[in-house]
Amino acid sequence: MSINGAMLAGVSGLTANAAALSTISQNIANVNTVGYKRATSEFATVVNSQTQGVGFSAGGVQATARHFISQAGQLQRTTSGTDLAIAGQGFFVVTEKSENLVNSDARLFTRAGAFKIDDLGYLQNTAGLYLQGWPVDTDGNVASDPSDVNRLKTINVGSVGGAAEPTTRVGLNANLKSSQKVSDAATVPTPAGVTAYDPATNSMAMWDPVTGTGVKPDFEITIPVSDSKGGQRSIAIAFLKGPNANEWYAEVHAPDGSVVNPNTPLKSGMVRFTQDGRLDTTFNGPTALFPDPSQASLTLGASGSVPPVPPAVAPDGTWAAGLGIAAQTIAIDLTAAAGGLTQYDSTSIVQATYTNGTAFGNLTEVKIDDTGFVTAIFDNGVMRKIAQVALATFPSADNLTEVSGNAFRVSQSSGTFNLKAPGTGGAGLLGASQLEASTVDLSTEFTGLITTQRAYSASSKIITTADEMLAELINIKR
């Protein structure tokens, strides 16, 4: 009957407004939850089938929760370098466990980026979920795939130890005095009682001021280099003024004895200068110190390595066997725009030597940039990329399924995820030392609280009125 239908409609109003109250309560409770997305209850009518001539049958109302997951919150600055926020539509990919992940393990998605380093070195947010990313290989490359979550690994910054970088490039800014007196050892023919300079039998690498053996160089440039283990070695370039103008004998050797046969030059030959004091880069060939002065380099074989069989090119020298270090090629820039190697009538001097490579260093800091690269910074200045944070996007993010921990699962309505690097495909850039605030607006929620309370009271009034009408109907018989 219509009175009974009115009462049931009132009950549906109570149920719907109670659901709306729960939604508002959830929002208010999470007003300070990082990355929380507000929800609201939307009402829809329920219409019963109507029979002609019987009267109207009330259906009532039903409430459906709507989640504004795609709505972005305001980014707020923090003091933690591992706090992350997304300025875009992406989601962090997270898992409930850090290690031994298999295909059946759930991958969740969240905007809650309050990550910290746990006791094993993994990045974990306040809900206990672990951040996933693509590992960076030793060459700095990332093997990403937009749909394969198995390529993602839990990002670990605690496993990063110390780091060292070998020297691969040297730049020189030095001058040789053009009016340098030609020594007796370089004079041809050799004066009686003086041993002539010979890179094979009487070289500058053999020079010993105590015993007087070898040939004393007119000038020597010592270059500090780092080996593959971060050890500090010395390479020297010795110069002896030649008998011809603008020509110098030159040798490259290791004065610290760090190579096999340290008394033998690693390289020897001539360097020639132009009449205006610049290095003559056109002087090349077998008599030159470097076959191509504009592309000068020194190659050292690994400790204990055996020289290759000809026609393979042998290195210029080999690191001493006891050092146990790797092969190394060092590019030597003799023609730098800042000066390079020159010959002016001024004091022979080294203005500067520029080398890369570093000694062993310890981890001091972890930084995450806006493209998602997690970089370890060491106290020796070395920076090493560890991983790149992956972001997931969805065709319909508002239809994701909510789970505990302010995270979401894929649903049939949301569509499948697409993994992207930050800053690509609308995924958004990352903001380090930032967090995304909750999207809850308290003024809106409290206003909704008032209207929901009134609607609930009105629905209860329907039930009270219908009850009174039923009572009147029952009293007719009396």
Single out the residue of 298, 292, 390, 365 nearest to residue 90, CA to CA.
390
Single out the residue of 255, 270, 173 nearest to residue 222, CA to CA.
255
SS3 403: strand
87 and 167 assigned to the same domain? no
345 and 463 assigned to the same domain? no
Q: Is the peptide bond before 293 cis (omega within 30 degrees of 0)?
A: no
217 and 264 assigned to the same domain? yes
Cα angle 88-372-80, degrees, rounded to a multiple of 5: 90
Domain containing 429: what range? Answer: 75-161+365-436
Please report, for the domain that includes residue 273, its CATH number: 2.60.98.20
176 and 290 assigned to the same domain? yes
95 and 135 assigned to the same domain? yes
pLDDT in tens, 400-438: 999 999 999 999 999 999 999 998 888 999 998 999 999
Domain boundary among 303, 335, 361: 361
Predicted pLDDT of residue 95 = 94
Predicted pLDDT of residue 194 = 64
Reading across the β-sheet that carries 247-253, which strands appear in turn? 219-226, 232-241, 247-253, 267-272
DSSP-assigned letter for residue 221:
E
Q: Which residues pair with 302 in a beta bridge?
A: none
Predicted pLDDT of residue 162 = 67
Predicted pLDDT of residue 355 = 87
121 and 243 assigned to the same domain? no
- Residue that the structure tokens 């003091």 belong to: 79
282 and 431 assigned to the same domain? no
Residue 329 neighbours by CB under 8 Å, 6+ apart: 168, 297, 298, 299, 300
pTM: 0.64
- Structurally, the chain folds into a number of domains equal to 3
Domain boundary among 361, 382, 404: 361
Q: Is the peptide bond before 189 cis (omega within 30 degrees of 0)?
A: yes
Predicted pLDDT of residue 467 = 85
48 and 133 assigned to the same domain? no
229 and 262 assigned to the same domain? yes
DSSP-assigned letter for residue 206:
T
Predicted pLDDT of residue 149 = 87
Report whether 241 contacts 218 (CB < 8 A).
yes
Residue 201 neighbours by CB under 8 Å, 6+ apart: none
445 and 343 assigned to the same domain? no
DSSP-assigned letter for residue 96:
S
Mean pLDDT, contiguous 10-residue spans, the chain (478 residues): 79 90 93 92 82 70 90 92 92 92 90 91 92 86 85 85 82 93 80 77 92 93 91 94 94 94 94 94 90 91 86 88 93 82 94 82 82 84 85 94 93 93 90 93 93 92 88 81
Domain boundary among 361, 390, 423: 361
pLDDT in tens, 364-409: 888 888 889 998 887 767 778 889 999 999 999 999 999 999 999 9
354 and 393 assigned to the same domain? no
45 and 111 assigned to the same domain? no
Predicted pLDDT of residue 5 = 79
